[in-house]
A and B are shown apart, each in its own frame.
Chain A
Amino acid sequence: MRKRALFGIATRSILRNKMRTLLTMLGIVIGVAAVIVMVALGQGAQTMIETQIKGLGTNMLMIMAGSSSQGGVSQGAATFNRLTIPDAEKLAREGTTLAAVSPVIFSRGQLIGGVGNWRTAIMGVSPNYQVIRDWPAQSGSFFTEADLRSVRRVVVLGSTVANALFPDSDPVGQQVQLRNVPFTVIGVLTPKGQNAGGTDQDDTVIIPYTTAQAHLAGHSRIGQIIASTFSPGDIPAAQEEIRAIMRESHKLAPGEDDDFTIRNQDDIAAAASGTTRVMSMLLAAIASISLVVGGIGIMNIMLVSVTERTREIGIRMAIGARSSDVLSQFLVESIVISVAGGLIGIVLGYGASIALARATGWAVAMPPQAALIAVLFSAAVGVFFGFYPARKAAALDPIQALRYE
């Protein structure tokens, strides 16, 4: 039997029941569209995160406590925190490839001042932090080495905090209370926006790390040391250099594992986009459940169709159709339905992704191969769910089928 004839029979019988076919297709249409939207959103988020992280500056390095021998940074309680101020000082002193080094002490707390209070992230750093992060002040200035050495209670506000507490005035020079300790605002930073993890980088206040250790009780632990190199090309050399200095500083014997981890922007980008990839795969998997439901819809209608057309099957067999001819007829029919549904779903999915991007401002990315995969997948759905009804048709006894009322 010629393939074109098969296709002709299938399309004709499909067109004969337009409404029914349309409703049958709907499951596949929605399934494919949902998968495409999910993939587009996931891919969009991933690319956005990657560009954001790269945008932070490619010559930044982070040193964290804990070994990475298991492939990831272990941050468990068992890890002995061994990042110290002397580590940071030694790196700054001896690192020939390093342009700037700053320890970072993370904490959270309440800031009272201006029009109310605000819970925010507190970072205790050195003045180099501003250089490393390339983060200019929009008003006032960052604190200085002198402020650091004198353990002054000065604070630089992120723009979100400044807008929240001082919506109508310049906070520079104002007195605020950070965890009930009085501080003087000396600067407001320019907005940086969200980071890779989606948190607002401007929702923070920055103080000298010496002040943090002296006045914010219980928050002297150094979370990380960040450093920048003179150029992005120095990164590999810098990583080696940092490693040597840190091992020396921590007095690790040869053969002993590192008790710290060094990560560059590429590592961070990969980790972050890995997370979103898992997320978007999960979403796509959930969306593909509707594809399965759509496939069951096709199976249902094909079973009805086989019963309805029992006599037609008998006629075809009587005039010489083999079982395999009948099988392919019904199989092609279910594939045509599912692939047509898939194609409509692709158009709908791409349209919905674009509309979603316009309406919400979310990033969407539509990889062209997603369309191909969607078509192949819906064809597979057609084969899988069409096979049982088609086999049922092919197994009919011609005499009984002819007699069917």
Chain B
Amino acid sequence: MTTPSSPRPPPVIRLEGVTRVYSAGSNAVHALAGIDLVIEAGEMVAIMGASGSGKSTMMNILGCLDTPTAGRYELDGTSVVGLSRNELADLRSRKLGFVFQGFNLLARTTALENVELPLLYDRSGRFTGRESPAPAALRRVGLGARMHHVPGELSGGQQQRVAIARALVTNPSLLLADEPTGNLDSHTSIEIMALFQELNAQGITIVLVTHEHDIAEHAQRIVEMRDGRIVRDAPVTERRMAAPAQAAAGVAA
């Protein structure tokens, strides 16, 4: 998918001096106080930091759900600053996939229908007249046998897989996951990380937020935040690899 050609492709993410100020009444909260960050295509980055350090705020900006108060943000080489609500929505539809801590699936809606949801809002016409990519996306996350189950009939890990399939179905350049394992036990968390590693190996750029060090170490690079700034940005020296076989066993049904 992201075969590197001789002129380097632009980084998927380039943040320069990004700030985000919430004006809560009289006092302003500097949730982001000047962030510079570059993430190249194909990277898998974990963002860590204490509660309130601005991780979610940054993810929202990366995900085009929010815009910086100041600074520049380029997604896939194009600037996102100053875009309208509709343009941001189209960017989310075309380039981004979201995975949330609380899964955020539509209740009483089957896995397949949940995964098909982003296709409904596609305006590029990439998927019209073609076979729906939703079943393939579900098979990709190991849920080929659970397509017609509703979230209430799925375990937490399985629900998160559906959410990942939903994020993947439109072939995004960037997968954003804010505490994707926050609601899962450690065993299931490892399974989800195995899936992320597998998808990353297939070329998808992934940025995820986590509080746990051993989860973060599944990424290639860890960015640490404190008080709205990046205080450490380093590659993982001993990257943990979750065995894909182990992951597959977890969903065999």
Contacts and interface: CB of A to CB of B under 8 A. Distances in A.
Question: Are A and B associated in one complex?
Answer: yes
A324 B92 CA distance: 15
B106 A320 contact: no
A320 B60 contact: no
Interface in A298-349: 311-312, 314-325
B90 A319 contact: no
Contact of B93 (A314, A319, A399): A319
A19 interface: no
Interface of B: 60, 63, 65-66, 85-86, 89-90, 92-94, 98, 100, 104-106, 108, 117-118, 120-122, 166-167, 170
B52 to A, nearest CB: 15
B221 to A, nearest CB: 25
B121 A319 contact: yes
Contacts of B66: 399
Contacts of B118: 319-320
Contact of B120 (A5, A314, A318, A324): A5
Contact of B92 (A311, A312, A320): A320
A325 B119 CA distance: 13
Contacts of A320: 89-90, 92-94, 118, 121-122, 170
Q: Which are the 5 A-B pairs with shortest beta-carbon distances?
A: A320-B93, A320-B121, A319-B118, A322-B89, A321-B121
A interface secondary structure, majority: helix
Contacts of A324: 86
B92 A319 contact: yes
A402 interface: yes
A146 interface: no
A21 to B, nearest CB: 15
A224 to B, nearest CB: 74
6 contacts: A311-B104, A315-B106, A320-B118, A321-B93, A322-B86, A402-B65
A320 B66 CA distance: 13
A2 interface: yes
A16 B108 contact: yes
A321 B64 CA distance: 13
Given A315-B104, A322-B86, A399-B65, 8 more contacts: A316-B117, A317-B92, A319-B98, A319-B118, A319-B166, A320-B92, A320-B93, A322-B90
Given A320-B92, A322-B90, A323-B85, A402 B104 contact: yes
Interface of A: 1-2, 5, 16, 311-312, 314-325, 398-399, 402
A280 to B, nearest CB: 47
A321 B63 CA distance: 14
A323 B86 CA distance: 7
Contacts of A399: 60, 65-66
Contact of A318 (B65, B86, B90, B170): B65
A322 B98 CA distance: 16
Nearest to B91: A320
A330 to B, nearest CB: 15
A3 B66 CA distance: 29
Nearest to A311: B104
A322 B85 contact: yes
A402 B100 CA distance: 9
A2 B129 CA distance: 13
A164 B85 CA distance: 82
A34 to B, nearest CB: 35
Given A311-B104, A323-B89, A318 B117 contact: no
Nearest to B93: A320
B65 A398 contact: yes
Contacts of B98: 318-319
A371 B108 CA distance: 36
A317 B120 contact: no
Nearest to B121: A320
Contacts of A2: 120
A311 B122 CA distance: 20
Nearest to A318: B98
B104 A321 contact: no
Contact of A316 (B90, B121, B122): B121
B203 to A, nearest CB: 21
A9 to B, nearest CB: 8
A322 B106 CA distance: 18
Contacts of A317: 65, 89, 92
Contacts of A311: 104
Contacts of A398: 65
Contacts of B117: 315-316, 319
